[in-house]
Amino acid sequence: MMDDLKALYQEVIIDHSRSPRNFGSLESANCSAAGVNPLCGDELTLHCILDADEIIQDIRFVGRGCAISLASASIMTEMLRGKTKTEAEKLFDQFHARVTGTADGPLVDIGKLEVLSGVREFPTRVKCATLAWHTALAAINKTDEQVTTE
Amino acid sequence: MMDDLKALYQEVIIDHSRSPRNFGSLESANCSAAGVNPLCGDELTLHCILDADEIIQDIRFVGRGCAISLASASIMTEMLRGKTKTEAEKLFDQFHARVTGTADGPLVDIGKLEVLSGVREFPTRVKCATLAWHTALAAINKTDEQVTTE
Amino acid sequence: MQSALTIDRERIATAAIDPTAIREQFPILSEIVYGKNLVYLDNAASSQKPLAVTQALDKYYASQHANVHRGVHALSDRATEAYENARKLACQFVNAEHVREIIFVRGTTEGLNLVASSYGRHRLKPGDEILVSEMEHHSNIVPWQIIAEQTGSRVRMIPMDDSGQIIQEEYLELLHEKTAIVAITYVANSLGTVNPIKQMTQRAHDVGAVVVVDAAQAAPHLEIDVRELECDFLTLSGHKMYGPTGIGILYGREELLDAMPPYQGGGEMIKRVTFSGSEYAEIPHKFEAGTPNIADSVGFGEAAKFMWNIGFDAIASHEHQLLEYCHERAEEFSDIRIFGMAPQKSGVFAFEIDGIHAHDIGTIVDREGVAIRVGHHCAMPVMRHFNVAATARASFAVYNSIEDIDRLFDALDNARELFNG
Amino acid sequence: MQSALTIDRERIATAAIDPTAIREQFPILSEIVYGKNLVYLDNAASSQKPLAVTQALDKYYASQHANVHRGVHALSDRATEAYENARKLACQFVNAEHVREIIFVRGTTEGLNLVASSYGRHRLKPGDEILVSEMEHHSNIVPWQIIAEQTGSRVRMIPMDDSGQIIQEEYLELLHEKTAIVAITYVANSLGTVNPIKQMTQRAHDVGAVVVVDAAQAAPHLEIDVRELECDFLTLSGHKMYGPTGIGILYGREELLDAMPPYQGGGEMIKRVTFSGSEYAEIPHKFEAGTPNIADSVGFGEAAKFMWNIGFDAIASHEHQLLEYCHERAEEFSDIRIFGMAPQKSGVFAFEIDGIHAHDIGTIVDREGVAIRVGHHCAMPVMRHFNVAATARASFAVYNSIEDIDRLFDALDNARELFNG
Ligand SMILES: Cc1ncc(COP(=O)(O)O)c(C=O)c1O
Ligand SMILES: Cc1ncc(COP(=O)(O)O)c(C=O)c1O
């Protein structure tokens, strides 16, 4: 089988997709957003608690989707807890550049998100990898509108 | 110049188109119809007097058009005066078959209409040659609707 | 159904169609993707085009093109003849009585919108009902929702059962004197179900409703006969039946089309225009405003001829064998769930695999050169019925072979390996 | 204007364009009709297509086709990329700011209907006024009449003078706070007049009206810049600018498109469909229901490149010289009357000959291989203005030459001979 498929579907990804972390609702959330990937109809709802200093105190999601989108949501929630809004945005930019292959200059360290960089070889799946992120940014920016990856 | 053009634009045709016979309105008409050739926007209105025996007592037209349509209207009115409705319809069928080249069997005598048979070589102009006829038949059949050659 | 071991390859090999010979007419089928020979099983989304069709386009542009209908010069005459001849072929394709009952549209979606907007606006009153089945493509739902909102009428859903068949008793229950329109698909794109159109039409006519048939998925597989079906409107897309993109047809019964207001306004569809008002042309021109898609209409006619040359019986039996083979092979695997088990079913194999999202399946088989469609197939209510977000779908055309299906099943093994180790 | 004797053939010969070289890219121009070499002067109705365009169609079907947007397989990806790349080219073609402001439509007629129906229904109130000039093509009149009737608004005519120019004072008189929409053509197809769009747009904006520009006849000749024009909507047809039939574009300002309801409903234009209601996708997809005309969009992009390669300045100056030459040659004849004498005029030569109906002229020159258009040119109000039923019209493209015009004038002599000889 092809290496790029193996790079995409690493064990970590399969694992996160089967047992997503921070999966569930968050009663006390003060910001939420829903995202939809019109490509496959997958939907994802994101809840988080943003404190007065714009620090993400807690973040959870519910929804269904392909392995890539679930793993991405799962890993993202792990990484965003404790980050400020600005840090979250910056991280997304770095992540986005990595999965679209548009990063220039030396590779920055994106931590655990690294496991998703195989998406680079699958342009049609970039939307799956970024859906959770778009939704999270909409939530913490308190954009009411539903997010789509189109 | 090409022979078929000369056959189409015979002197008789040019003459009829320049000085159409039976051109004008007919106050006492008991049936009328308007026809339009959407190809060029030409319009023609036909008036006639049909008596109790369905004989065309008088027939006149007004309108404007190309040489073919004016000549056809002019010659038609000359020929239809005195004919019965049924005779008119039969003559049209013969004329139509001649100008579309769909007549089978030996050529019937269509009298003066013969000068228009050059239209056969110009399929896009059949509508011009038959507009007056369609309108006349609509009039004597008392069809209210406006006629078009489409 | 037979078990996998007894698959009768010989029976299949003696089918009326030789896909290898047919494939030569489709240059794209020789494409190599990721180093593999392409296996194209996404035909329900859009089929590939034979050379006869693309060459007809070339020929049209190289020797016949001009604008149609209003010219007296030679090319305009040629173009008009080519275009109107395509209309005659389309008329034969659905066996309509009159050529003027055929309107060229962009595709099924436009055909349905034309009927919803023009017939709907003319006919629907507040309180009227439009029945739409649960298995419709979005194109046969959304236009009705839009016109219902504008006219105060109401869209009601005819439910289906878990085999993917319309529940006829429920349909009869829903039908009553308020039913103005019944909009149903001939073949369901997400399930393959072939609906009993004739029977449903008769019942609809009993209560005075008109029937609009979405034949997008029927056209590539079945011989369509609007007179036999007795339907009032029927529409289909060229690009799903070996024809070019951008063209399709709408059939409508003459009396209905005559009574309807125009859909779009412009050149070609008028008799006379003044600033105090305009008079409309006769059908079909009343519904064809503007310069039509002349070249692709010609290509559409060529696609119809391509299908006639193969023959509908041969097409149906070939595709049926592919479908049976698919079902047989699926039996080998306990992790495959098939969507759509209607006895009357055309060449669609929709499925999911336990624990692997359709989207991932799509990506994995793609790397083996196998093109299938994954997602909601523009049929979200069907997905909701089965409580899934997406399914995987392989759909067949005359050029597909038993080997193509084996390639699909081999590729599915890769997915299992990646996900289940 | 110079007299015929002083025609500067040298000046013409040194033009930036060599029609002979260009003609080789158009196979149809080698057609023989009635034993004569074709002279195609019916470009305003529809232009011919260069090999670059037809080859792009072939290439698309032979290596890239699948349905767009929703597939994860390789071909679907190629098709989507080809289609969205065509949208980028279209965006550059009209110099729009955002790619999402470009909607693919069948042609100008559909573009105008989309705006009339969708923007019109959203915006027009009883008593509102829509201003439409006297020189509009029917496609820019009838859609407004239809929506005016549905919304209780009113279409008013902006008159033109006998040179074929919009009377600006009358336009200013008509503009007031009830004016919701101004719909004007950039170039008039029956006269060649180039209208002062930018200036008219500014005046319309002063009273809060939006401006819809019909650029069908501008696209083949002028560099279009929606930001410079400041118009709100602009639409054009591919088939008049060397592209395939069945495709065109509508540009609309983002805020306006965002606020408008969809035009057609179906696949591709939704986010989510349920029987209790549907949510629509973002622009441009909201306005592109159903499978788009993918191949012809790609062909459209290729046509834009064809024009860029030649260059708009070269195109304009070449066509201007042909027009001047036509006017000069017309001066030789006292029986020719020209329609359209605006100082700003593009490559349209509309005329009549004393005592010979346009229709007869068309037939006679056709037999010499010369294709011109005769009739009302879908501009009946213009015909009424000049009190004629029909005119003859020669219209130019980059492949036309001075010889073509000589051939036309020679053929006109035949008409005179038949009628007066
Ligand atoms: C000025 C003008 N507007 C609109 C149209 C309609 O264009 P289409 O027929 O391509 O829709 C035309 C072409 O006939 C035209 O010349
Ligand atoms: C059943 C059905 N109806 C309608 C459509 C819409 O057809 P198109 O996209 O060609 O307008 C499709 C195709 O996607 C379909 O499968």
- DSSP sequence for B32-100: EEEEEETTTTEEEEEEEEE-TTSBEEEEEEEE---HHHHHHHHHHHHHHTT-BHHHHHHHHHHHHHHHH
pLDDT at res. D5: 37
C-alpha pair distances (Å), C341 with each of C165, C264, C350: 8, 41, 10
pLDDT single digits (tens) C113-136 = 999 999 999 999 999 999 999 999
pLDDT at res. C103: 98
Q: Is A52 on the interface with C (CB under 8 A)?
A: no
Q: Quote the minimal CA–CA distance from C305 to chain B in Å.
A: 27
More confident residue, B42 or D207: D207
> For D211-225, what is the mean pLDDT?
98
Cβ-based contacts of B125 with chain C (< 8 Å): 72
Say whether D383 and B41 touch across the interface (CB within 8 A): yes
pLDDT at res. B143: 62
Which ranges of chain C have pLDDT less than 50? 1-7, 9, 12-14
Nearest CB to C390: which of A5, A40, A125? A40
Residue B89: pLDDT over 80? yes
**B62 with B41: CB under 8 angstroms?**
no
Which residue's CA is the closest to the ligand 1 atom numbered 15?
Answer: D216
Q: At residue B149, what is the residue type?
A: T
Instruction: Confirm or reject CATH 3.30.590.10 for domain D9-50+311-420, answering yes or no.
Output: no
Residue D3: pLDDT over 80? no
For residues B144 and B49, what is the distance between their CA atoms, to the nearest angstrom?
16
Q: At residue A47, what is the residue type?
A: H
Residue B80: pLDDT over 70? yes
For residues B3 and A132, what is the distance between their CA atoms, to the nearest angstrom?
77
The closest alpha carbon to D147, from D158, D135, D132, belongs to D132
pLDDT single digits (tens) B33-62 = 999 887 767 889 999 999 999 999 999 999
For residues C167 and D36, what is the distance between their CA atoms, to the nearest angstrom?
66
The two three-digit tokens of residue C391, written as one number: 């399914």
Q: Is the ipTM of this complex over 0.90?
A: yes
Task: Return the C-alpha torsion angle D351, D352, D358, D362, nearest 10.
Answer: -50
Task: Name the C residues in 41-80 with CB < 8 Å from any B CB.
Answer: 69-72, 76-77
C-alpha pair distances (Å), D106 with each of C5, D239, D279: 52, 10, 25
For C110, what's the count of Cα atoms within 13 Å in the CB-facing half-sphere?
A: 26
pLDDT at res. D48: 98
**D293 with C243: CB under 8 angstroms?**
no
For residues A15 and A12, what is the distance between their CA atoms, to the nearest angstrom?
5
Rounded CA Rg of chain D = 22
Beta bridge partners of residue D392, listed in sequence order: D351, D374
Q: Is A25 on the interface with D (CB under 8 A)?
A: no
The two three-digit tokens of residue C191, written as one number: 């399930």
> For A83-104, what is the mean pLDDT?
92
Residue B146: pLDDT over 80? no
Output the CA C68–ligand 1 centroid distance in Å: 13
- Reported as a pLDDT band with limits 50, 70 and 90, residue D18 is confident
> For D76-82, what is the mean pLDDT?
95
Is beta strand D370-371 parallel, antiparallel or unpaired with respect to D248-252? Answer: unpaired
Q: At residue A78, what is the residue type?
A: E
What are the φ and ψ backbone dihedral angles of D214, each rounded to 5 degrees?
A: -90, 105
Residue C351: which H helix or E strand, with range? strand C348-353
Output the CA C139–ligand 2 centroid distance in Å: 6
What is the length of chain B? 150
**B48 with B136: CB under 8 angstroms?**
yes
Q: At residue D122, what is the residue type?
A: H
pLDDT at res. A143: 62
- Look up the CATH number of domain A2-148: 3.90.1010.10
For residues C67 and C292, what is the distance between their CA atoms, to the nearest angstrom?
9
Cβ-based contacts of A43 with chain C (< 8 Å): 389
* Average predicted confidence (pLDDT) for chain A: 89
Q: Is C245 on the interface with D (CB under 8 A)?
A: yes
Say whether D389 and B124 touch across the interface (CB within 8 A): no
- Domain extent listing, chain D: 9-50+311-420, 53-308
The two three-digit tokens of residue A101, written as one number: 């292959």
pLDDT at res. C366: 97
Q: Name residues whose C-beta falls within 8 Å of residue D371's C-beta, 6 or more positions apart in sequence.
A: C66, C71, C73, C74, C75, C76, D33, D38, D39, D40, D41, D42
Beta bridge partners of residue D393, listed in sequence order: D350, D373
Burial of A27 (0-12, 13-18, 19+ CB in 10 A): exposed
More confident residue, B44 or A146: B44
Options 3.40.250.10, 3.40.50.300, 3.40.640.10, 1.10.4080.10; which CATH number does C53-308 get?
A: 3.40.640.10
**D214 with D378: CB under 8 angstroms?**
no
Query: Atom of ligand 2 at shortest distance to CA of C110?
Result: 11
Cβ-based contacts of A4 with chain C (< 8 Å): 367
Calculate ∠ Cα C253-C257-C262, nearest 5°: 155
Say whether D375 and C278 touch across the interface (CB within 8 A): no
Q: At residue A61, what is the residue type?
A: F
Task: Return the C-alpha torsion angle D62, C249, C136, C353, nearest 10.
Answer: -20
- Domain extent listing, chain A: 2-148
The separation between CA D207 and the C-alpha centre of its own chain, rounded to angstroms, equals 27
* Average predicted confidence (pLDDT) for chain D: 94
| Residues of D with catalytic roles | 378
Q: Is B2 on the interface with D (CB under 8 A)?
A: yes
For residues B128 and B76, what is the distance between their CA atoms, to the nearest angstrom?
13
pLDDT single digits (tens) D115-138 = 999 999 989 999 999 999 999 999
pLDDT at res. C1: 36
Q: Which residue has the tokens 């489409």?
A: B150
The CB of D127 under 6 Å from ligand 2? The reply is no
The CB of C108 under 6 Å from ligand 2? The reply is yes
Say whether A38 and D71 touch across the interface (CB within 8 A): no
For residues C325 and C327, what is the distance between their CA atoms, to the nearest angstrom?
5
The two three-digit tokens of residue D160, written as one number: 């033109």
Q: Which chains border C (3 or more CB–CB pairs < 8 Å)?
A: A, B, D
CB C2: neighbour CB atoms within 10 A?
A: 12
pLDDT at res. D13: 46
pLDDT single digits (tens) D237-271 = 999 999 999 999 999 999 999 999 999 999 888 88
- Conformational region of residue C297, where left means phi above 0, alpha means psi within -120 to 50, and beta covers everything else: alpha
Say whether B38 and C281 touch across the interface (CB within 8 A): yes
Q: Is A126 on the interface with C (CB under 8 A)?
A: no
Q: Is D266 on the interface with A (CB under 8 A)?
A: no
Say whether C363 and A125 touch across the interface (CB within 8 A): yes
Output the CA D290–ligand 2 centroid distance in Å: 7
pLDDT at res. C256: 98
Beta bridge partners of residue C154, listed in sequence order: C129
